[in-house]
């Protein structure tokens, strides 16, 4: 399970994973108060991408990316063009 250190690398890999097979991808957000870590995991049961942070400014980035993925999952339009326009 690769742990990404750079946010941009993680988002590119997660978008690529989602666009490859949207019906199999799951997104999980996990916050551990005792450690102060927020973790986002994107998986399709074959590949698992993980980004973990303890920085407060990264929370907005994760929230924006998560809502972008959720919009794509419920959109009726073409998924490949929607990700590129945002």
37 within a domain of the structure (yes/no): yes
Q: Is residue 41 part of a domain?
A: yes
pLDDT band at 70 (very low <50, low <70, confident <90, very high): confident
Binning pLDDT at 50, 70 and 90, where does residue 86 land? low
CA distance 47 to 39: 16
Provide the 3-class DSSP secondary structure of residue 49: strand
Q: How many domains does the chain have?
A: 1
38 within a domain of the structure (yes/no) = yes
4-35 in b/e form (b: 16+ CB < 10 A) is: beeeeebbebbbebbeeeeeebebeeeeeeee
pLDDT in tens, 5-46: 999 999 999 999 999 999 999 999 999 999 999 999 999 999
């Amino acid at each position: 399970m690769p742990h990404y250190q750079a946010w941009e690398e993680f988002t590119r890999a997660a978008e690529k994973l989602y666009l490859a097979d949207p019906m199999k991808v799951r997104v999980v957000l996990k916050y551990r108060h005792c450690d102060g870590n927020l973790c986002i995991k994107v998986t399709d049961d074959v590949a698992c991408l993980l980004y973990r942070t303890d920085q407060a400014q990264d929370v907005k980035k994760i929230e924006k990316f998560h809502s972008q993925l959720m919009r794509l999952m419920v959109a009726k339009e073409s998924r490949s063009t929607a990700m590129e326009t945002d």
